[in-house]
């Protein structure tokens, strides 16, 4: 309670001095009263003003007209005790927690009162609060499905992570990604930041964003970032196939903000970038699972014709169950070690002959050159980094579509002409059979799940994990694995299926 000399209104009842009247409220049947006890004056004033902006009637003093008494960190006994001390021994008003108000403000209308909103009869002391929620620290220890209950928070944190990546602030980007991953795995809808006590990877900055959304329905920082000219320009420019953050940042410093300005600038573009600009509209649209399956059948036919018995697996987000993605990735191997070498040029030639490729760039397997030579030639070299060195082809395809597809890219004889294909990114990766389990794990993702696996391996098990191998630094030996399950077992982790790796 604040000193009387600072008060502008009476708190003991009587006529309200509130400037919120029935005719100024969207919901005249709902009258709110915010209890200052434990909430504090400044927070109460802020929430009062915010409630009125959202169309709620918020009275400064308690009267018989009040329908909802809102408090923070109080029990039902404590609120009734306060009301009794002010001469209001009993009231039909609902006694609800602050979480009801934040949900109502977010929804823009009075929320339905659930049991979790009602005040408990006993309020534990601050030293004896409910036990903190227990969640494993590493994302690779958790099961994260595509569906979760906290999209409003994860989307906000992911946007801040993306902005940090565009600013080449890797540390901050990873921090936001880990915070978002924690919320994706959280089993309940977050309506109060106190629910997150004990959850890992939620720093002060991330918690501030969450609290802002809980109180205001949105984060001012996130919205300012979303609207900023720099974020919009860099997001557009890095959306061009073949353009990274450094190149986009340089173009931004030169005053380039969009594709017309880029084309008028006279900047020299490499082959990948020219293809990216030409097919920008198509490449910035997600590829559907149905389209990925069409590509898969074509790839399997081409690979099978060149290397009978080869195995082709759709990886990436599609293997995790996503209905769409920004590209399509295939992992190719053969049970007979060595038969897969030099496969990419043959497959590419076959695809070119069928006019499927709009652009492609191939590279051979460079793993041996990139690492220390192994003690035994039959084993792969020790992983030097998270980057892999498989034989691959990065390409832009003409993906057949069942219906005529309108487009605006430079591949058409006439602008606006319809054709029965769309441009899409497709990556073909070839790996030796002995490394297939590691490649399958690495190329399935998600990116953060894989990062956390490597971090777990290094910090908890003193091992080095990559998409090529798992090396035990203590025993100074490679640990073979024929399946993903065996890799998890080597790492002393419970196996997590692909559909639950969406961290």
Which two three-digit tokens encode residue 172? Answer: 């901050």
One DSSP character per residue, 85-99 reads HTT-----SEEEEHH
3-state helix, strand, coil in the chain (%, to 5): 45, 15, 40
Q: Confirm if 433 and 340 have CB atoms less than 8 A apart.
A: yes
Catalytic residue selected from 282, 329, 355, 388: 329
- Residue 404's pLDDT is 72
Q: Which pairing describes strands 463-465 and 470-472: parallel, antiparallel, or unpaired?
A: antiparallel
What's the full length of the chain, in residues?
Answer: 503
Helices (H), 86-140: 98-107
Q: How many C-beta neighbours within 10 Å does residue 3 have?
A: 6
Catalytic residue selected from 59, 427, 462, 472: 427
Q: How far is CA 26 from CA 15, 58, 454, in A?
A: 22, 12, 53
Strand extents, DSSP E, 284-343: 287-288, 311-314, 324-325, 328-333
For the chain, list the domains and their CATH numbers.
4-128 (3.40.50.10190), 139-226 (1.10.150.110), 228-278 (1.10.150.20), 287-367+385-433 (3.30.460.10), 444-500 (3.30.210.10)
Which two three-digit tokens encode residue 413? Answer: 């004889």
One DSSP character per residue, 410-459 reads TTSSSTT-EEEEEEEEEEEEE--GGGHHHHHHHHH--HHHHHHHHHHHHH
Active site residue 327: yes
What is the distance between the alpha carbons of residues 219 and 232, in angstroms, rounded to a whole number? 18
What is the distance between the alpha carbons of residues 171 and 236, in angstroms, rounded to a whole number? 23
Nearest to 332 by CA among 306, 351, 359, 368: 306
Residue 70: strand pairing partners: 34, 96
Per-residue pLDDT in tens (0 to 9) along the chain, 503 residues = 344 333 333 333 333 334 444 446 789 899 999 998 888 788 888 899 999 999 999 999 888 899 999 998 888 888 888 887 777 777 889 999 999 998 999 888 999 888 889 887 654 444 344 456 789 999 999 999 999 999 999 999 999 999 999 999 999 999 999 999 999 999 999 999 999 998 999 999 999 999 999 988 999 999 999 999 999 999 999 999 999 999 999 999 999 999 999 999 999 999 999 999 999 999 999 999 999 999 999 999 999 999 999 999 999 999 999 999 999 999 999 999 999 999 999 999 999 999 999 999 999 988 875 554 333 334 444 444 456 899 999 999 999 997 776 555 554 444 556 789 999 999 999 999 999 999 999 999 999 999 999 999 999 999 999 999 999 999 999 999 999 999 999 999 999 999 999 99
Active site residue 329: yes
Active site residue 427: yes
- Residue 305's pLDDT is 98
Which two three-digit tokens encode residue 451? Answer: 């990062």
Q: Which pairing describes strands 463-465 and 57-59: parallel, antiparallel, or unpaired?
A: unpaired
Nearest to 384 by CA among 458, 314, 273: 458
Does the model's pTM come out above 0.85? no
């Amino acid at each position: 309670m604040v000193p009387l000399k600072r008060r502008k209104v009476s708190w003991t009842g009587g006529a309200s001095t509130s400037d919120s009247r029935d005719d100024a409220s969207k919901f005249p049947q709902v009258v709110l009263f915010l209890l200052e006890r434990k909430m504090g004056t400044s927070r109460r004033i802020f929430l009062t003003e915010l409630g009125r902006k959202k169309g709620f009637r918020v009275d400064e003093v308690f009267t018989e007209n009040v329908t909802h008494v809102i408090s923070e960190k109080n029990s039902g006994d404590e609120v009734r005790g306060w009301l009794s001390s002010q001469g209001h021994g009993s009231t039909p008003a609902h006694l609800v927690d602050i979480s009801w108000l934040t949900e109502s403000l977010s929804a823009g209308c009075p929320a339905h009162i659930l049991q979790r909103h009602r005040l408990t009869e006993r309020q534990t002391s601050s030293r004896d609060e409910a036990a903190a929620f227990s969640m494993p620290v590493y994302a690779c220890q958790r099961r994260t499905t595509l569906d979760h209950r906290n999209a409003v928070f994860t989307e906000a944190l992911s946007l801040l992570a993306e902005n940090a990546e565009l600013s080449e602030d890797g540390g901050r980007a990873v921090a936001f990604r880990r915070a978002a991953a924690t919320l994706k795995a959280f089993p309940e809808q977050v309506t109060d930041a106190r629910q997150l006590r004990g959850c890992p990877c939620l720093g002060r900055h991330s918690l501030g964003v969450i609290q802002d959304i809980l109180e205001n329905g949105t984060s001012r920082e996130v919205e300012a970032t979303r609207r900023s000219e720099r974020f919009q320009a860099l997001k557009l420019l890095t959306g061009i196939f073949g353009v990274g953050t450094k190149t986009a940042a340089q173009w931004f410093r030169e005053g380039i903000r969009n594709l017309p300005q880029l084309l008028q600038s006279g900047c020299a573009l490499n082959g990948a970038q020219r293809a990216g600009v030409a097919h920008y509209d198509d490449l910035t649209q997600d590829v559907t699972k149905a389209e990925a399956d069409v590509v898969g059948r074509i790839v399997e036919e081409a690979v099978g014709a060149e290397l009978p018995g080869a195995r082709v697996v759709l990886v990436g987000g599609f293997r995790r169950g996503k209905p769409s993605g920004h590209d399509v990735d295939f992992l190719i191997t053969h049970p007979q070690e060595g038969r897969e070498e030099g496969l990419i040029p043959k497959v590419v030639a076959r695809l070119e002959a069928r006019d499927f490729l709009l652009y492609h760039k191939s590279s051979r397997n460079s793993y041996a050159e990139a690492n220390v030579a192994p003690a035994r030639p039959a084993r792969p070299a020790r992983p030097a980094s998270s980057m892999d060195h498989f034989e691959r082809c990065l390409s832009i395809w003409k993906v057949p579509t069942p219906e005529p597809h309108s487009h605006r890219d430079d591949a058409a004889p006439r602008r606006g002409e319809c054709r029965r294909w769309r441009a899409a990114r497709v990556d073909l990766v070839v790996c030796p059979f002995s490394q297939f389990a590691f490649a399958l794990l690495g190329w399935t993702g998600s990116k953060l799940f894989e990062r956390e696996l490597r971090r777990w391996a290094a910090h908890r098990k003193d091992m080095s994990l990559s998409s090529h191998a798992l090396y035990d630094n203590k025993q100074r030996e490679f640990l073979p694995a024929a399946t993903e399950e065996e890799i998890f077992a080597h790492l002393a982790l419970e196996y997590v299926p692909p559909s639950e790796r969406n961290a």
